[in-house]
Copies of this chain bind each other. A is one copy, B any other.
Amino acid sequence: MLTGFVLLCSNRSDFLWPSKRSIFLLGLVPVIGVVVFMLGGVEFSSPFPELPRSAPADQMLKLLPEERLKDLFTFDGIWLFPKNQCKCEHQESYNFQDAYGQRELPAVKARRRVEFEHFQRREGLPRPPPLLAQPNLPFGYPVHGVEVMPLHTVPIPGLQFEGPEAPIYEVTLTASLGTLNTLADIPDSVVQGRGQKQLTISTSNRKLLNFILQHVTYTSAVYQHHRVDVVSLESKSSVAKFPVTIRYPVIPKLYDPGPERKLRDLVTIATKTFLRPHKLMTMLRSIREYYPDLTVIVADDSKEPLKINDNHVEYYTMPFGKGWFAGRNLAVSQVTTKYVLWVDDDFLFSHDTKIEVLVDVLEKTELDVVGGSVLGNVFQFKLLLEKSQNGDCLHRRPGSFRPLDGFPRCVVTSGVVNFFLAHTERLQRVGFDPRLQRVAHSEFFIDGLGSLLVGSCPEVVIGHQARSPVADPELATLEKTYSAFRTNTKDQIQFKLALHYFKNHLQCST
């Protein structure tokens, strides 16, 4: 049998295989003549040299041209295919490093690289290239799904040997993060290395060999989290490799809805207020018209504390002007029910503000967050991410991905308005970054990308208190101060762009 290797290398920086510049060993591939495939960047027009006429079939071995590829894998105008360098080419795009001054930028880049490497180290990134199975391996083995808790033992299913007949069979299993054994009751002459990282089976009895293999066990030897051990199974020159994942299962954090499933035991309302006590009280009164006993958590970073006469309001004070997201994070950190309903302090509950509908959606689907609409304004946006070595590219587009299964008038998206019901545990896990002190909204959904499945049901509507001048001079002063804080100043925009650059390791957004 002819054997050979085919090398796939990328020699341009634009085009990227998932394993970057790693070389794929393609094993047993018959090679006739010299055919070297150069994936030369994004241009595929003439990727390989002229071949002699005596092998006409080889002329068929070409790849699709670039424009065709872009067609195939483009979504919402963005090419969602691996690449070395993503770009933000749009009328409205932000290049995040512009938020830093020229002089400080090199130092910022260096610090970001250090922090990013620490993050990667702790997350086990970058992941090793995919584990490839060779053809015609004489083994059965588990490709996917073997998991073990740290220090625990599991049987490994599916191991078997089906190679050619031989006078003696010798099969070796090797692990690195754990030890191997077998439940088979066999003398040490047949099985060596029980309880070690390498287990060797030597026997002339094929049935015995397979019996031992069927009962092989893996023991996680070191207390660690989130690791993947690659176990190899070999005999003569054949090697099979398979993964064993070492991790704890998710610890449940359930909430008891109580024997009567009262809404009060299922949902807590949370809000944050700042220098708008009149609006807050108006909102509270509107809640009480429809929901007299739901707990309302209020985080307040105003100058003076309020006195709220309501048995079901929990009131918290913060340092003055500590901030918008700090207050959101505070309020959410205090919730003791399964769901939390976020509302802004200037909203207005109405007959259409049916919390029960939102609860029903979260109870019956896999959503973590479901938003409604404010005054009928449907606000939804999608987030699309392109990974890249020097910072990712984030794209925001209006609208939704698809309808929500079981709720045809609802959709799945990435971001919604500030009126939403969420699984408390999931919301707390993502949180609202207290570094965002003033105007911020999408930052929460960006932090939640991949962690929160977000939906929108526009038929659940909340009202909004109109901006009207207040008569009371004290309140008017407050409102003026409020507006000053609320202005999205140049400094604040710069701060948020810098935060995206450093914190989220982003390059740009459109």
Contacts and interface: CB of A to CB of B under 8 A. Distances in A.
A87 interface: no
Contacts of A132: 140-143, 157-158
Contacts of A210: 26, 29
A58 interface: yes
B80 A151 contact: yes
A379 interface: no
A149 B385 CA distance: 9
B131 A412 contact: no
A98 to B, nearest CB: 16
Given A61-B211, A256-B108, A429-B429, A333 B138 contact: no
A12 interface: no
Given A138-B135, A329-B333, A248 B450 contact: yes
Interface string A285-302: 000000000000000000
Interface stretch (A345-353, A462-470, A471-479, A498-506): A498-506
Contact of A162 (B28, B69, B72, B186): B28
A418 interface: no
A449 interface: yes
Contacts of A255: 115, 503
A146 B80 CA distance: 16
A303 interface: no
A398 interface: no
Interface stretch (A89-97, A271-279, A311-319, A481-489): A311-319
Given A255-B503, A412-B223, A446-B251, A333 B335 contact: no
Interface string A179-198: 00101111000000001000
A207 B58 contact: yes
Contacts of A155: 17-18, 82
Interface in A21-71: 24, 26-30, 32, 57-58, 60-65, 68-69
A133 to B, nearest CB: 5
Interface in A247-272: 247-259
A227 B503 CA distance: 27
A316 B334 contact: no
Nearest to A6: B214
A242 interface: yes
B330 A140 contact: no
A20 to B, nearest CB: 12
Q: Is the interface of A mostly helix, strand, loop or mixed?
A: loop
B131 A142 contact: yes
Contacts of A305: 317
A169 interface: no
Interface string A97-121: 0000000100110011001101101
Interface in A419-478: 428-429, 431, 433-435, 446-447, 449-451, 453
B130 A434 contact: no
Contacts of A251: 446-447, 449-451, 504
A366 B217 CA distance: 28
A449 B249 CA distance: 9
A250 B211 CA distance: 42
Nearest to A17: B155
A389 interface: no
> Size range of the interface on A?
35 or more
A450 B249 contact: yes
Nearest to A425: B431
Given A334-B326, A363-B118, A184 B63 contact: yes
Nearest to A430: B429
Nearest to A301: B316
Contact of A257 (B115, B326, B335): B115
Contact of A144 (B27, B243, B338): B243
Interface in A132-172: 132-147, 149, 151-155, 157-158, 160-163
Contact of A27 (B145, B162, B185, B385): B162
Contact of A334 (B30, B153, B329, B387): B329
A131 B505 CA distance: 36
A429 B253 CA distance: 13
The 3 closest A-B pairs by CB, nearest first: A248-B450, A130-B145, A132-B158
24 contacts: A18-B157, A27-B160, A32-B207, A64-B185, A69-B183, A111-B259, A112-B254, A115-B257, A125-B250, A127-B147, A128-B145, A133-B140, A133-B142, A133-B143, A133-B242, A136-B162, A144-B243, A223-B412, A251-B446, A316-B316, A316-B330, A330-B334, A333-B333, A333-B431
